[in-house]
Copies of this chain bind each other. A is one copy, B any other.
């Protein structure tokens, strides 16, 4: 019995270490591959966001938990923090930075993160919300809408800073998620109906309305549904309806429709509509992804996008991927862009 007592004694010592260690979990993703865009040179690029995160929960008793999550975003091909348009470096914790409490009432958090709509909508997008050109999340899935119009140039377009996030508990398949932003000035400017010299929202100006985002989701066996509405700091409004169904154990079908109204910041043609159809088909370690969609801004040429992809899992944490995509129309130059990519995604 001496040995087992020793074992227990050692376990006691470990318990201390382990408790200290488990206060913080480190996790992340590294995704890199070779990308060829029809109008550009061969490049090393990414398909998914690259993250290095720190998170933890603390049991406060009576079903109450404190929790936090800090998520670095980076570009593995150059080693920098994630960069937005024009090479602008985004915040260190671009992924999210939130702290909050969780209990029977649901979860309430403060900080910066994806809005309720942006977070809910990824489940109805055939590339599960990835930012790759083959995916639909960053453009068609949001009808060209941005959640953060007054942020600095290059900042991400699907987050609220200075926000309160509330997620209800799931009740009979229903869940409600709400994000309320503050009017706090974030950076700006936003040209809108003005000019570069006299923008509608000058640099450092506060929001003209309280930004909010709300999504309701409903799950019933193989089917799922989402209704969402959002209004940003310059009063652009977005509405979205989306659904998915597991047609068989292997086949998931998805559809979404969204409508943006920019009547507060444009003089004409404020409405942009978009729809997407998508499918995921699982075959053992492989998965086929397919999608087609259109974006129709009033008075502007339609954007049409068709994409096909394949993921092959080497393990639960690592997969290889290949994507092909064609996007044409809209205001892009050249008017037709084909993109091909091949790479590896590793979660840790």
Contacts and interface: CB of A to CB of B under 8 A. Distances in A.
Copies of this chain, count: 3
A76 B26 contact: no
A77 interface: yes
Contacts of A95: 79
A77 B6 contact: no
Given A3-B5, A41-B206, A80 B91 contact: yes
Contacts of A88: none
Nearest to A96: B79
A77 B346 contact: no
Contacts of A5: 3
A11 interface: yes
Contacts of A23: 26-27, 348
Interface of A: 1, 3-8, 10-11, 14-15, 17-18, 20-28, 30-34, 41-44, 52, 54, 56, 58, 60-61, 64, 66-68, 70, 72, 74-81, 91-101, 110-112, 161-164, 182-184, 186, 206, 314-315, 317-318, 343-344, 346, 348
Given A44-B182, A76-B112, 6 more contacts: A30-B99, A44-B163, A58-B346, A67-B346, A78-B161, A79-B93
